[in-house]
Amino acid sequence: MTEARSRVRSVSLPVLFRKLRWAALAVVLTAPGCRRNSPSSIPTFLGDDRRSEVDTAALEPALADAWTRLQAAWEDAPESESIPAIADEILEQNPPPELAREALHAKSAHAYLLGQDVDAAALALRGLSWEPKADKPGDLERSLTQLRLRALARGGDPQVALQELDDPRRVAQAGLEPGPLAGIRAVALERDAAFGPALTAYTRWRASVPDDSAAALYADTRILALGRTLPKVAIQEEAAGLDPGPARRCLEALGGVSLPGHDDPRWVKACAGPPARVGVLLPRSGPLSAFADAQLAAASVSAVSLSEASVGGFLWRDAGSSKSSAASAARVLVDEGATVIVGPIGASNVRAVHNAVGDRVPVVVPGESVSGAVGVAPTLEARIDGLVRLARDRGARQIMVLTPDNGYGRRALKAIEASVGKKAKADLVVQTYPVNTTSFQPLITPLLGGLRAGGAVIVPDHVTRLESVVRQLIRLDRAPSADGSQGVMVLSTAEGASQTGLIDDRKVLSEVWIAPAAWASDGTAEFEQAFLDAEGHPPGDQELLVFRAFERALAPSAEGLPTVTLAHVGPDGVIRTATQ
């Protein structure tokens, strides 16, 4: 028998895994926490297509027979318990070093296939430690090193695995390419609870494997699982540390930084998640229906404006005007496939909806945050604080408060008192009025003695009643002054205000500072024009809030508190703003 014929080719482990990988993946994907005893966190074992260095012709007959049976067993049933049994038979006969290491390799690979990772790592180390070694490391040493690293990462000590993977000599000894190396590192990092770096490693691994491979399927699963649970800011930080490429674009999509491009691979596009189906929940019946007309118009325009974004469709339901009707409609939307809900209005209704479906889908409201529902408007308290601090910064020595006698007014007054502090609270001049007040002269005239130049008037109310207050102040020679130098500062939350309305009414509202619930920006210009074309007038603050709610629903990674904008229009018709 010639040497070429006597060197029998060892079984390729990729062939082995083709037989087992789908069963292994089924175990992993249904029980991802069972790392120690279940295959397979790394569904393919790469790089073991090698020829044995054992010269069968040089072996004693008993060893040659056992070696032939071992290779045949690999070909027939690699998961069979005959593999370790035959390997032990070889080891008991004092085999040559090369054959002993092959037998240990067979036992290690068999244990790895069955998920017995601690045993697999120990057997691989024993094989690597067998003396005497070859003068130059060969394919067998490379394969044993890979087996050990994979077993340590998947079911052994993850910190030991990471230490080994950080050793350039060990990586070189294993012959690992960057892609498979990232896959092993990803599994070890995830088991070591380093979830951000693990996600990055999974994306690097995914970029290196074919789309139709078991490795790709597993990497995709872990990428989406970690991407759904990690904070967006953590994912964004991981993305910033990567060079440009598919892995970075995947993380940017997961982190909400940007959407994948048309030319990106399919797996990168999947990182953006499925297209959102937006459930719109506004009252079209009951006492609250009148308040939703403007919001419904804004929702319709927003849906059209955003239809080219990553939107899988819009679902509409009447929220009614009660907690029960809103919650019931929300459940219907989720059952119909809504992945996020915009609406309803009314704090109690929002709470009811969030309690009903908030554990299944995000709830975004065109107003302030309520309970766990995400709001897109700054709180009334934040807006009030911005106005008070502006008045103080401009040197206002006295503050008069004109506020409606209702829940909104009482909340605003409480916010003003908190903002000025305990010492200045006693110096406030407070005048409440019924919500149906139309003439403010009887309220303001008795207070003129305490309202001198350099003072401030805060009116937390709707913009229409603000106009009535300002008209009366002008008649009484207390015209508003943006800095308080000529008259009095007038400041308001101006519910329902719009930029166009301020400019059109500047003869009245000139120099009045407002802290609106929403304000136009470069990002709303397209919506503003679409709304103007559809409705014949520009959107106000409530309509802008609806648009921002839709934006937030389609970009859930947006974080941070909404910004408080302070604005006033000058006599020249130019609006000037400041942020708090």
> Same structural domain for residues 9 and 87?
yes
Confidence label for 379 from pLDDT (cuts 50, 70 and 90): very high
Q: Are residues 218 and 108 in the same domain?
A: no
Q: Are 108 and 147 in the same domain?
A: yes
Q: Are 63 and 154 contained in the same domain?
A: yes
Paired sense of beta strands 399-404 and 374-375, if any: unpaired
Note the pLDDT of residue 232: 82
What's the distance, CA 334 to chain centroid? 20
Helix (H) or strand (E) holding 528: helix 525-535
How many percent of the chain have pLDDT more than 90?
31
- The 3-state DSSP class for residue 579 equals strand
Q: Which of 375, 408, 423 is the last residue of a domain?
A: 375
Could you give the CA distance from residue 549 to residue 555 in angstroms, rounded to a whole number?
Answer: 10
Same domain, 325 and 419: no
| Cβ pair 469, 402 in contact under 8 A | yes
Q: Is 241:200 a contact under the CB 8 Å cutoff?
A: yes
| Domain count along the chain | 4
Tell me the average pLDDT across 400-428: 89
Q: pLDDT tens digits for 490-527?
A: 999 999 888 887 777 667 888 899 999 998 887 888 88
Please name which of 42, 463, 2, 391 lies closest in space to residue 222, comparing C-alpha atoms.
Answer: 42
What mean pLDDT, rounded, does the chain reach? 81
Strands 340-342 and 363-365, how do they pair? parallel
Residue 536 domain-assigned? no
Q: What pTM did the predictor assign?
A: 0.57
Q: Please indicate, yes or no, if residue 528 is contained in any of the structural domains.
A: no
State the Cα–Cα distance between residues 576 and 499, nearest whole angstrom. Answer: 11
With a cut of 50, say whether residue 9 has pLDDT above it. Answer: no
d(CA 113, CA 293) in angstroms, rounded, equals 64
The tokens for 569 are: 């229009």
CATH code for the domain in which residue 393 is found: 3.40.50.2300
Who has greater pLDDT, 42 or 313? 313
Residue 525 lies in a domain: no
100 and 141 assigned to the same domain = yes
- Given CA atoms 141, 146, 149, 155 in this order, what sign does their dihedral have? negative
CB-based contact 91:126 (threshold 8 Å):
no
Q: What angle do CA 303, 309, 315 make, to 5 degrees?
A: 40
Tokens of 452: 């001198």
Evaluate whether residue 440 is within a structural domain.
Answer: yes
Spatial strand order of the sheet with 374-375 comes to: 311-318, 276-282, 340-342, 363-365, 374-375
Q: What is the pLDDT of residues 62-103, one digit of tens each?
A: 999 999 999 888 888 888 899 999 999 999 998 988 888 889
- Model pLDDT, residue 51: 67
| Domain identity same for 164 and 195 | no
Residue 14 has pLDDT above 60, yes or no: no
Q: By the 8 A CB rule, do 456 and 391 touch?
A: yes
Which DSSP state fits 522?
G
Domain final residue, candidates 326, 351, 375: 375
Q: Which residues of 80-105 are buried (b: 16+ CB within 10 A; e: fewer)?
A: eebbbebbebbbeeebeebbbbbbbb
Distance separating alpha carbons of residues 134 and 141, to the nearest angstrom? 9
Q: Check whether 19 has a pLDDT greater than 50.
A: no
In a domain, residue 479? The reply is yes
Q: Which domain holds residue 293?
A: 276-375
* From 122-136, 261-275, 469-483, the region with the lowest mean pLDDT: 122-136
4/118 same-domain check: yes
Name the residue with tokens 């990803």.
Answer: 186
- Out of 273, 303, 327, a domain closes at 273
Domain presence at residue 122: yes
The verdict on 264 and 280 lying in the same domain is no
Which pLDDT value is given to residue 136? Answer: 60
SS (H, E, C) 297-320: HHHHHHHHHCCCCCEEEEEEEECC
Give a yes or no: residue 571 inside a domain: no
* Mean pLDDT of the 421-435 span: 84
pLDDT digits (tens, 9 = 90+) for 25-74: 222 322 233 333 333 444 434 335 566 778 888 888 999 999 999 988 88
Residue 460 is assigned to a structural domain of this protein: yes
CA 536 remoteness from chain centre:
37
- Per-residue model confidence (pLDDT) at position 310: 56
Domain identity same for 365 and 406: no
pLDDT of residue 6: 27
pLDDT in tens, 319-376: 988 999 999 999 999 998 888 899 898 889 999 999 999 888 889 999 999 888 889 9
Q: Are residues 20 and 143 in the same domain?
A: yes
Assess whether 26 and 165 both reside in one domain: yes
